[in-house]
Amino acid sequence: MTAFFRKKAANAKDDILSGITVALALVPEAVAFSFVAGVDPLIGLYAAFIVGFVTSIFGGRPGMISGATGALAVVMVSLVAEGNAMGATGENLGLYYLFATVILMGCFQMLAGVFKLGKFVRLIPHPVMMGFVNGLAIVIFLSQLNMFKDGSGNWFTGPRLFVMLGLVLLTMAIMFFLPKLSKKLPAALMAIIIVSAIVIFGKLDVATVGSFIRDGGGTGLKGSLPSFQWDLFSKIPWNWQTLKFITPYALILAAVGLIESLMTLNLVDELTETRGNANRECMAQGGANIITGFFGGMGGCAMIGQSLINIKSGGRTRLSGIIASVLLLIFILFASGLIEQVPIAALVGVMFMVVIGTFAWSSFRILNKIPLSDVIVLVTVSALTIVFDLAIAVFAGVIISALVFSWENAKRIRARKRMKDDGTKIYEIWGPLFFGSILAFNDKFDVKNDPDHVEIDFVESRVCDHSAIEAIYNLVLKYEEAGKRIKLKHLSEDCKVLLYKSSPKFEEVIVEAIDDPRYHLAENPERFTKGLGEYNL
């Protein structure tokens, strides 16, 4: 019992320290994505707090961090701009359309959880996952390069650049070497504290969180508790036109948010060797976005970079996410002045170490060991993640993988031909019969020159879809039009159900009475398994 409580206490310590580190890293990210979306920084910070807090408690993946993200922010830009154009100058109508869209987005995400659509994340192939991870690492790296620019968008030069690089490298060095000296101290948090102390006490003129916010047009981190947006019901008309305007944006945001969240869930599963609940995560993300919409946040989803910081800093339970979100609110309410003094260089250094740890360096080693199609998928997903966004990259990767799978299976259809003593010609079909293999299937038959009696044996094949049913039906008609008799044998029960439902014609040609042990074995694999069990194999 003592060992149990000691283990729990150790986990709690790691989760608390990791949560502090994540909270510090959340600030510039949430602020930056607010600027991307064209809203006040507090809107992004409120979203990071609410979404992070709700999903940490109710989400399907302990240790995963959620908040305002760039993938959603880039979609919100045109939404906010179009919404502002619908109102008078200075009315800021786009912000309220954004809140309404986030609420509807949350409803769609909850429906995805209700209908258990989260399980479809299993269909994402490993090359897609690896390409996504590599593309993500590059995107995080490129996003940090913007921190080397001033408020006018010009790159740092001279001493300012060298000081920035020195602090970044110092942060990375601390994170690299500190775990070798002591694993009890959180490397990322200690690096931020040490570099911040050097900047503050050394009075170095470097970019800080406060200067970053001011350069972007904000006034600071200081704010109050998020309040219910009663103006939401009076500012925008709740009619068909509004629904027609916000629904497409809500659908896109819901899809992008869920894809990014479920991909992050998969990644964290692999890193921690545990399994999260995808459908529960869909419900939690949806509920969090509904709440953040009503309380003035820009919505959000899982944050891959911050989730990786949390996992690599020792965060494993829901406590780490709760600490991060609550601490973020405390920063807003009471400690804005202190947090604004944290140098951007320290946070950039932390993110660079995340990039190094995220990139799948093993992908270079296996490129010449995996199929060419998987190489193409891996590289394509990485490139599309960088050029466009995560959702497009994943969709493209899954589609390419599905097409390759279909093509490879289409080539596996075979027909072995033999003659029975009574002159009946037997076609033994091997391989799956589906839309991709129909052409090859039809080429196997010689209706004109075949004898009067033909049997098609499906014991080693399977009828998979409507295209296969149509192909068999048309083949039966061709033989009958030629005055020949055709029979279909060894179809499994589910295949026969499909064929009987499609046309009564199949009741005339399917042979039900089967006396062949191969057929019964193929139709009832459980019987084969039980048989093996009897022999303790």
Domain ranges of the chain: 10-365, 412-534
Q: Is the pLDDT at 534 greater than 60, yes or no?
A: no
103, with CB counted inside 10 A (0-12, 13-18, 19+), is buried
Alpha-carbon distance of 427 to 66, in angstroms, equals: 57
| Three-state DSSP class for residue 536 | coil
Q: Is the pLDDT at 299 greater than 90, yes or no?
A: yes
264-278, 349-363, 421-435: lowest mean pLDDT where? 349-363
Could you write out the DSSP letters of every residue in 326-395? HHHHHHHHT-HHHHTTSBHHHHHHHHHHHHHHHS-THHHHHTTTS-HHHHHHHHHHHHHHHHS-HHHHHH
Report pLDDT for 302.
93
Arithmetic mean of pLDDT, 113-127 = 85
Give residue 436's identity as a one-letter amino acid code.
G
Report pLDDT for 450.
93
For the four alpha carbons of 129, 133, 138 and 143, in that order, the dihedral sign comes to: positive
Q: CATH homologous superfamily for 412-534?
A: STAS domain (3.30.750.24)
24-40: per-residue pLDDT in tens?
888 887 887 787 787 88
Three-state secondary structure readout of 130-152: HHHHHHHHHHHHHHHHHHHECCC
Do 195 and 343 meet the contact criterion of CB atoms below 8 Å apart?
Answer: yes
What residue has token string 């029979």? 487
Element (H, E) at 455: strand 453-463
Report pLDDT for 287.
97
Do 99 and 80 meet the contact criterion of CB atoms below 8 Å apart?
Answer: no
Find all residues with CB under 8 Å of 23, minimum gap 6, and list them.
Answer: 323, 324, 325, 327, 328, 331
**Residue whose C-alpha is closest to residue 250's, from 118, 103, 393, 395:** 103
Do 242 and 103 meet the contact criterion of CB atoms below 8 Å apart?
Answer: no
